[in-house]
Amino acid sequence: MSELQDQEKSIATTYTYSTDDTSPTTTQHPYIEDKHTKNFFSCFIDGFKPSKGWEIDENLTFEERTHKLQEFAPLKRKLKNRHLQMIAIGGSIGTGLFVGTGGALAQGGPASLIIAWILVGIMMFCTVQSLGELCVAFPVPGSFVQYNTRFISPAWGFCMSWNYALAWLISLPIELVAAAITVNYWNDSINSAAWVAIFYIIILLINILGVKGYGETEFAFSIIKVIAILGYVILGIVINCGGVPQGGYIGGQYWKNPGAFNHGFKGVCSVFVTAAFSFGGTELCGLAAAETENPRKSLPSATKQVFWRITLFYIISLALIGINIPFTDSRLLGNSGAAASPFVISIQNAGIKGLPSVMNAVIMLSICSVANSGVYAASRTISSLANQGFAPRWFGYVDREGRPLVGIGITMAFGLLCFLAATSYHAKVFDWMMAVSGLSSFVTWGSINVCHLRFRSALKAQGRGVDELHFTSQSDIYGSIFGVILNGLIIISQLWIALFPVGGKISAESFLKSFLCIPVLIIFYTFWLFYSKDYTFFIKGKNIDLDSGRIIENLHDLREEVAREKAELASQVWYYRFYKFWC
């Protein structure tokens, strides 16, 4: 019997798809009881009892852990296609775009804004394409967090898992405080702690509802954000043409005076971190793969939506901001919250009454959306840490409703730091918290691209090819190579900015606030090497596990199915092929 036939017969899978590809089918767990025999209260209480799948034997290998997780599937696959589409389109649109772009405009000028966002946007498109290929093939709990362990090394997996968890843990209290600050736009007489408490309770209740609650709220939040951005694009054109109560025709005068750039090349480099912050969370559609009804159908379409978000929501809206507001406007750096939002400032300059309040409400909802996503991402990552043996086993507790309760509890406990908003030193504390995860997005995205390259390398080393994949990255390995290089260059540029700050002198405090993330990563990596005594820096391609967690049954049948789908698509009219390529 050939080696290929041995591989085909040895692949152990759990999820199989019905002929109509509508939803995965699994064997029902023996502990599941008929909910119709119990009242609502009893079912609600029983839902918090442990899922049989969360108890993982510490002596199992990584591959055996993956098999066990897939067998019991403690996380529920309740996210539908519409949820994933809206998470991909608008899930990460928040303070980075609505507020952070104001400071970036003041720091680098309108041309720097466009250049930085285009470069990071192209990189994000390539990264999400690479992630989509991996997630469709391996829709395992933890997604790219586990891919680092599988395709690179356990030490790097430990380092990146904790890095990603910390980034979202830190994000939650900061976003809650930012949401409270937006309320000050209307009324600043009420203590911020009161609003923080309200937002905290709302986010907690949403996540207690489980992944379905997260999906529905993000669906609603994303629709509101998308409508707001589309509305501003139309309004921004009207403002520029002078069709508003005050301001008159603007055209491109602000690109001439005060100019297109501020602080030259250094100004361009200085806005990359803000661009990364605005794109943060784009990878969440990959993290949600393990809780999606049919990742094979939903994920490819969701990853393609990133192109439209980058083009329409970011580039066009930022171009309008750059031509409607001079970067010398003191409000861009002299205010906080919605008052510093270039969207709000441009509407105020136009003399439109009432609309700034509407935009402020959208900003507040966007911030709540990011905070909600923070709890989702952090709790799933914490659960994955336990599953990989990188944290105490009880961190991975998942109840019968598929909620990682311990992960949610740890995240919400960390979120209590939001009540520092009532103190006079909260800004300094949050600055140092942000420093820990300042460059983590670039490291995370670069690592996803490395995982994709390692996956393709492993396929080649084991005599296999992309013909066994349901979905392949549109940017292929070249997009991953570009992603690795650009992320590396951006990190180097941030080191340069940290050593030689824009318009200031270097200090130990400012350097650490800009670059603290890298020493933290080195500490994590070194700790695991000495703790585990596993000094594997790279898993050899021939030894990489390419089968655990796959959603296929037979390689031969899969290749035939993929070839049939490609042939069917090729037979369609050109405009349908064009639509399927981009959507």
Confidence at residue 413, expressed as pLDDT on a 0 to 100 scale? 94
User: The tokens 């598929």 sit on which residue?
Assistant: 402
- Tens-place pLDDT, residues 571-583: 888 887 877 777 6
Residues above pLDDT 70, as percent of the chain: 83
By residue count, the chain amounts to: 583
Confidence at residue 248, expressed as pLDDT on a 0 to 100 scale? 86
Confidence at residue 162, expressed as pLDDT on a 0 to 100 scale? 93
**What is the DSSP code (8-state) at residue 313?**
I
Find how far residue 494's CA is from the centre of its chain. 21
Confidence at residue 198, expressed as pLDDT on a 0 to 100 scale? 93
- pLDDT of the chain along its 583 residues, tens only? 444 444 444 433 333 333 344 444 444 444 444 455 566 666 667 666 666 655 556 666 665 665 565 555 566 677 777 777 777 777 667 778 888 888 889 989 999 999 999 998 899 889 989 998 998 888 777 677 888 988 999 999 999 999 999 989 988 898 888 888 888 888 878 888 889 999 999 999 999 888 888 888 988 988 898 889 889 999 999 999 998 888 889 999 999 999 999 888 888 888 888 888 788 777 887 777 777 777 777 778 777 777 777 777 788 999 999 999 999 988 887 666 677 889 989 999 999 988 888 988 998 998 888 898 889 889 989 988 888 888 888 888 888 888 889 999 999 999 998 888 777 776 777 777 777 777 888 999 999 999 999 999 999 999 998 888 888 898 999 999 999 999 999 888 888 888 887 766 777 777 887 788 888 899 999 999 999 888 888 899 999 988 877 765 566 777 777 778 778 878 888 887 877 777 6
Whose CA is closest to 129, among 300, 279, 275, 291?
300
For residue 17, what is the enclosing H or E element? strand 16-17
Confidence at residue 497, expressed as pLDDT on a 0 to 100 scale? 83
Dist CA 520 CA 436 (whole Å)? 7
Dist CA 368 CA 225 (whole Å)? 12
- What Rg do the C-alpha atoms of the chain give, in angstroms? 24
Dist CA 18 CA 25 (whole Å)? 7
CATH number of 69-552: 1.20.1740.10
Confidence at residue 190, expressed as pLDDT on a 0 to 100 scale? 80
Confidence at residue 236, expressed as pLDDT on a 0 to 100 scale? 93
Residue-wise burial string across 92-101, b where 16 or more C-beta atoms lie within 10 A, e elsewhere: bbbbbbbbbb
Contact 162, 437 (CB under 8 A): no
Query: Within a 10 A sphere around the Cβ of 472, how many other Cβ atoms?
Result: 18
Dihedral of alpha carbons 534, 540, 541, 543, sign: negative
Confidence at residue 103, expressed as pLDDT on a 0 to 100 scale? 86
- Tens-place pLDDT, residues 210-269: 888 888 898 898 889 888 988 999 999 999 999 888 888 999 999 999 999 988 888 888
Confidence at residue 28, expressed as pLDDT on a 0 to 100 scale? 42
Confidence at residue 555, expressed as pLDDT on a 0 to 100 scale? 66
